[in-house]
């Protein structure tokens, strides 16, 4: 810490206790960082941010109760002043684009060391975006890849069958047009875990035993 500047106040959120406790310990040893709380899921993370108003949060993507993408969206809406730094094992373009699209300021993989994480937290709190080299390469590859034509989807009907929600119908429509889970996740700024959860509910509501059956359902009910 330099001069009389107060330490950077952060929250750590990761569902793996060993990872969470290790991060709290390592970052807490730095003189200019104060870990004010740790959370095991996205809902706990949001509650801690509301209670303590930290400068930044270090957030895993795949957590129970509320995953990192949904937590990022809510934190961005409710606490835009809090810088969100994602720290995860996932470096695929769907996860990266979903996190950044939801409002994350920086994105690191768990290969990053304590210095990299601390620098990312400081930079994000100062308004900078920090991406580790693996993530930069992922974004470059996604940007330069020849995009397939985006399927044209018709508007959803006002009355949806079998208790489908608007989000479920939207995802079912995208499935009906042959889109994969990562493609759906990237377009809707959701994690692939969240997309899979929606699809499981779609299977249950439509009585579809598999994806092909759900795609047929989508076309039969004019959702695709």
> Do the domain assignments include residue 153?
no
Considering the domain architecture, whether residues 48 and 100 belong to the same structural domain is answered as yes
Considering the domain architecture, whether residues 88 and 30 belong to the same structural domain is answered as yes
Q: What angle do CA 173, 174, 180 make, to 5 degrees?
A: 145
Q: What is the pLDDT of residue 187?
A: 82
pLDDT band for position 16 (50/70/90)?
A: very high
> Do the domain assignments include residue 75?
yes
Q: What average pLDDT does the segment 74-103 reach?
A: 88
Alpha-carbon distance of 67 to 60, in angstroms, equals: 8
Per-position b or e across 196-216, b if 16+ CB within 10 A of its CB:
eebbebbbebbebeeeeebbe
Q: What is the pLDDT of residue 94?
A: 75
Residue whose pair of structure tokens reads 């930044």 in the numeric block: 56
> Do the domain assignments include residue 155?
no
Compute the half-sphere exposure of residue 32: CA atoms within 13 Å on the CB side of its CA: 11
Considering the domain architecture, whether residues 26 and 82 belong to the same structural domain is answered as yes
Q: What is the mean pLDDT of the chain?
A: 87
Is 147 a residue whose pLDDT tops 60?
Answer: no
Instruction: State pLDDT tens for residues 163-218.
Output: 999 999 999 999 888 888 888 888 887 878 888 999 999 999 999 998 888 998 99
pLDDT band for position 102 (50/70/90)?
A: confident
Window from 75-89, 94-108, 135-149 with minimum mean pLDDT: 135-149
Q: Where are the beta strands (DSSP E) in 17-152?
A: 33-39, 56-59, 83-88, 106-109
- Tell me how far apart the 2 most distant CA atoms of the chain are, in Å: 68
pLDDT band for position 38 (50/70/90)?
A: very high
> Do the domain assignments include residue 156?
no
- The boundaries of the domain holding residue 75 are 8-143
Considering the domain architecture, whether residues 33 and 108 belong to the same structural domain is answered as yes
Considering the domain architecture, whether residues 93 and 138 belong to the same structural domain is answered as yes
Alpha-carbon distance of 40 to 209, in angstroms, equals: 33
Is 2 a residue whose pLDDT tops 70?
Answer: no
Q: What is the pLDDT of residue 35?
A: 97
pLDDT band for position 154 (50/70/90)?
A: low
Q: Give the residue with greater pLDDT, 90 vs 162.
A: 162
Q: What average pLDDT does the segment 51-77 reach?
A: 93
143 contacts 100 by C-beta, under 8 angstroms: no
Q: What is the pLDDT of residue 1?
A: 47
The overall pTM is greater than 0.95: no
Q: Domain tally for the chain?
A: 2
What tokens does 146 get? 């020849």
Compute the half-sphere exposure of residue 19: CA atoms within 13 Å on the CB side of its CA: 20
Instruction: State pLDDT tens for residues 207-223.
Output: 999 888 899 899 889 88
The CATH number of whichever domain residue 167 belongs to comes to 1.10.10.10
């Amino acid at each position: 810490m330099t001069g009389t500047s107060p330490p950077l106040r952060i929250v750590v959120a990761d569902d793996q206790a060993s990872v969470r406790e290790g991060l709290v310990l390592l970052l807490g040893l730095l003189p200019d960082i104060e870990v004010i709380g740790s959370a095991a899921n996205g809902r706990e993370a949001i509650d801690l941010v509301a209670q303590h108003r930290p400068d930044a949060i270090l957030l895993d993507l795949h957590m129970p109760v509320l995953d990192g993408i949904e937590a990022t969206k809510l934190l961005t809406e409710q606490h835009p002043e809090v810088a969100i730094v994602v720290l995860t094992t996932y470096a695929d373009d769907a996860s990266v684009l979903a996190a950044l699209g939801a409002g994350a300021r920086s994105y690191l993989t768990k290969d990053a060391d304590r210095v990299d994480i601390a620098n990312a937290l400081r930079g994000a709190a100062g308004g900078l975006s920090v991406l580790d080299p693996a993530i930069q390469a992922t974004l470059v590859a996604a940007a330069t890849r020849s995009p397939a034509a985006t399927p044209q989807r018709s508007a959803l009907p006002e009355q949806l069958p079998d208790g489908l929600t608007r989000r479920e119908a939207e995802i079912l429509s995208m499935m009906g047009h042959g889109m994969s889970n990562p493609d759906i996740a990237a377009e809707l700024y959701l994690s692939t875990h969240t997309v899979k959860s929606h699809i499981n509910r779609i299977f249950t509501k439509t009585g579809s035993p598999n994806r092909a059956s759900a795609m047929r359902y989508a076309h039969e009910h004019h959702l695709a």
